[in-house]
Chains A and B, each alone.
Chain A
Amino acid sequence: MSHCDEDALALLALGEVVDSRDVAHAQECAECSARLEEYRTVVGVGRTVTADDYPTAPPAEVWDAVSAEVARDRASGSDVVSLDAARSRRRRGGYVLAAAAAVVGLVAGSAVTASVINRPESAQLVASAQLDPIGDAGVTGKAEVQTVNGTSQLKVTVPNLPNVNGGYYEVWMATADTKNMVAIGNLNPGSTAVYTLPAGMDLASFPVVDVSLETYDGNTGHSATSVVRGNLNA
């Protein structure tokens, strides 16, 4: 006989009694026995379905959280973000950190002259800044811009930067009013970081060096939690 009647295979999978010729064929025919197995799997799963397995909608907060996250992504689509915007985004998203309040209006930083760290012979110091503590971080640091063979480098050191669990530090350069910020790179505690600045980076426009505490939240914008900041032109 040719292949099983497919309806019979379906009934067989459900445990019904079917024509013995269909049963015999299903045992011999690879194709039909494979199909029977698949039906049996479906029946096995189907028979254990309970009322709780029928889809129910998630709480409304889930969409709120998704759309807030997407809005943050949109706003920080570029690495150049306004700190004010970052701050208000965090607030809307419920991520306000206590220290954020301390950021407001604090374009700190004091004048600094040359004095520094392992400069190669060819390097020329262009500007430097003392990095003053922001909020309750209580640490200070130093930033220098130097040119090495025509390339601008930013060197940042913040001794005594505490280790953080679940977070990291990021260096930014900002306009004097901190409305626009450019992400420069991450900074590990206990090390001096040297970053090559973009060729077109205008120090007069972005004189502020800022180090922020970031969490691994996938948000590329400034966390609004700064630990030190200084002004290269001060």
Chain B
Amino acid sequence: MQPSDDSELAAAFVAGDERALEQVYSRWSSLVFTMARRATGNESDASDITQAVFISAWRGRSGFDAAKGSLPGWLVTITRRRIADHWESISRETRKIDAESARLDDEAVAGHAEESVNRVLIADELSQLGEPQKKIMELAFFQDLTHAQIARALDIPLGTVKSHIRRSLDRLRTRLEVDHVAL
């Protein structure tokens, strides 16, 4: 089996083809692992979470519904849950006497983990942009250059830079949305 696209791969995965699992892992384990690494702050917990995500995805593969979202979106959802479980188990262990401050801490941790996951999603999508889009977005995000400065720096027409910026933002926005709602 050589799935030509994600939907064929997803179908083979759901059907229980272990070679599909291997491909799914090779395509998306970096994303899962990095989200967990950034959200937990250490590689060991991230490895455990990554293992748990792929095992539970495999065992729960019949619960994946292609009509509701993409396979990577589903994996991201499972990863978010596993990260939340991770923090919950830590918070249970260190449960404070002051329930209110514990609750606020939990929310802060959950928010932090959520932001970490979103950053990794955006980084992943940025890395998949072609050129010159990737370079343009890096200059806009990280160097704070205006589109006019970018156009000069890369010697690209102003209008082209503007539309690249808008399309790239659309793509990043869609990625955040899709991976949020995909269940």
Residues of A whose CB lies within 8 Å of any CB of B are 6-7, 9-11, 13-14, 16, 38-39, 41-43, 45-50, 52-59, 61-63, 65-67, 69-70, 73-74, 218
Chain B's nearest CB lies how many Å from the CB of A84?
23
In the complex, the answer to whether B29 meets A10 with C-beta atoms within 8 Å is no
Residues of the A chain whose Cβ atoms lie less than 8 Å from the Cβ of B163: 7
Instruction: Pick from A16, A39, A47, A62: contact of B50, CB below 8 A.
Output: A62
Q: A14-B140, A70-B18 are in contact. Are A46 and B122 (CB under 8 A)?
A: yes
User: Which chain B residue lies CB-closest to A54?
Assistant: B123
Residues of B whose CB lies within 8 Å of any CB of A are 18, 21-22, 25, 29-34, 37-38, 43, 46-47, 50-51, 54-55, 58-59, 115-116, 118-120, 122-124, 126-127, 137, 140-142, 146-147, 162-163, 165-166, 169, 172-173, 176-177
Residues of the B chain whose Cβ atoms lie less than 8 Å from the Cβ of A38: 173, 177
Chain A's nearest CB lies how many Å from the CB of B160?
10
Q: A10-B169, A14-B165 are in contact. Are A55 and B127 (CB under 8 A)?
A: yes
In the complex, the answer to whether B33 meets A57 with C-beta atoms within 8 Å is yes
User: Which chain B residue lies CB-closest to A47?
Assistant: B141
In the complex, the answer to whether A70 meets B58 with C-beta atoms within 8 Å is yes
Report Cα–Cα, A41/B32, bound state, in Å.
Answer: 22
Residues of the B chain whose Cβ atoms lie less than 8 Å from the Cβ of A61: 47
Report Cα–Cα, A52/B123, bound state, in Å.
Answer: 9
Q: A7-B162, A53-B38, A55-B33 are in contact. Are A42 and B18 (CB under 8 A)?
A: no
In the complex, the answer to whether B47 meets A48 with C-beta atoms within 8 Å is no
In the complex, the answer to whether B123 meets A42 with C-beta atoms within 8 Å is no
Sorted nearest first, the 7 A-B pairs with minimum C-beta distance are A58-B33, A55-B30, A10-B166, A53-B123, A7-B162, A55-B34, A53-B119
Q: Is the interface of B mostly helix, strand, loop or mixed?
A: helix
Report Cα–Cα, A7/B120, bound state, in Å.
Answer: 25
Report Cα–Cα, A74/B18, bound state, in Å.
Answer: 10
User: Which chain A residue lies CB-closest to B137?
Assistant: A46
Residues of the A chain whose Cβ atoms lie less than 8 Å from the Cβ of B123: 49, 53-55
In the complex, the answer to whether B140 meets A39 with C-beta atoms within 8 Å is no
In the complex, the answer to whether B126 meets A49 with C-beta atoms within 8 Å is yes
Residues of the A chain whose Cβ atoms lie less than 8 Å from the Cβ of B119: 45, 48-50, 53
Residues of the A chain whose Cβ atoms lie less than 8 Å from the Cβ of B46: 58
In the complex, the answer to whether B55 meets A69 with C-beta atoms within 8 Å is yes
In the complex, the answer to whether A66 meets B43 with C-beta atoms within 8 Å is no
Residues of the A chain whose Cβ atoms lie less than 8 Å from the Cβ of B33: 55-58, 62
Q: Which of A9, A39, A46 has the most CB of B within 10 A?
A: A46
| Contacts beyond the supplied A42-B173, A58-B30: 5 A-B pairs with Cβ under 8 Å | A7-B166, A10-B169, A55-B124, A58-B50, A65-B51
